[in-house]
Amino acid sequence: QSGNRIDVLSHLFPGADAQTGRVDYQVQVPPDASLILRSSTGALHAERLHGDVTLEGATGNVDVRDVSDAHVHIKTLKGPITLTNIHDGHVEVTSVSGEVVMDSVSGPLVQVNSTSGKIFYDGDFGSGGEYRLASHTGDIEATAPDDASIEVIARSVKGKVENDFRLQPKHTPFTIKAGS
């Protein structure tokens, strides 16, 4: 421990494999603490927090739930990511090939970038928020309530864009004047 910072590290002994060298940690922190978790193969889980949350992993599952008024940063190579009940903060997710599932996630900025992983979003896009869901080759599926007030910009380099939202096209009224 150094001041109010705690570092917990694990090192594998020579000859240990992923199973014999396995270590499970369960750490409780105050709800407003900032948290940084890193693991190459193990699962990462954080819940009921109001401080900034950073989780970085390679292949393990990442699960974040019940977080509000916080910045949530997640980076993985191919581990699946699940975000549930995240509100009023920035959410930034980067994954190479892991699936990203978001349920009831809203905030001023929700940004997900994936190279080939699928992205699923289910929830009410918060008012005034900006949501960027991008995958180079993976599918993106977003659902919202019928009464949601959202603007959708969708494009695809390869493949088609399908829209099942019950949206009305946005029109900008203008008048044409002679000689203009």
**pLDDT for position 8:** 78
Q: Does the structure show a pLDDT above 90 at 175? A: no
Determine the Cα–Cα distance for residues 42 and 167; give it in Å rounded to an integer: 42
Measuring CA to CA, which residue among 151, 143, 111, 103 is closest to residue 127? 151
Q: Does the structure show a pLDDT above 90 at 105? A: yes
Q: Which two tokens stand for residue 68?
A: 């509000």
Q: Does the structure show a pLDDT above 60 at 10? A: yes
The mean per-residue pLDDT over the stretch 42-50 comes to 93
**pLDDT for position 170:** 59
For the chain, the structural domain boundaries read: 35-143
**pLDDT for position 15:** 79
On whether the CB atoms of residues 151 and 170 are closer than 8 A, the answer is yes
Lowest-confidence segment of 23-37, 43-57, 147-161 by average pLDDT: 147-161
Q: What mean pLDDT value characterizes the chain?
A: 84
Determine the Cα–Cα distance for residues 171 and 177; give it in Å rounded to an integer: 19
pTM of the model: 0.82
**pLDDT for position 179:** 56
Q: Which residues of 148-167 are buried (b: 16+ CB within 10 A; e: fewer)?
A: eeeeeeeeeeeeeeeeeeee
User: How does strand 62-68 pair with strand 44-49?
Assistant: parallel
What pLDDT, in 10s, does the model give residues 50-101?
999 999 999 999 999 999 999 999 999 999 999 999 999 999 999 999 999 9
Q: Does the structure show a pLDDT above 90 at 164? A: no
> What percent of the chain is predicted at pLDDT more than 70?
84
Determine the Cα–Cα distance for residues 151 and 101; give it in Å rounded to an integer: 21
**pLDDT for position 169:** 58
Q: Which residues touch 110 (CB under 8 Å, ≥6 apart)? A: 90, 91, 102, 129, 130, 131, 132, 133
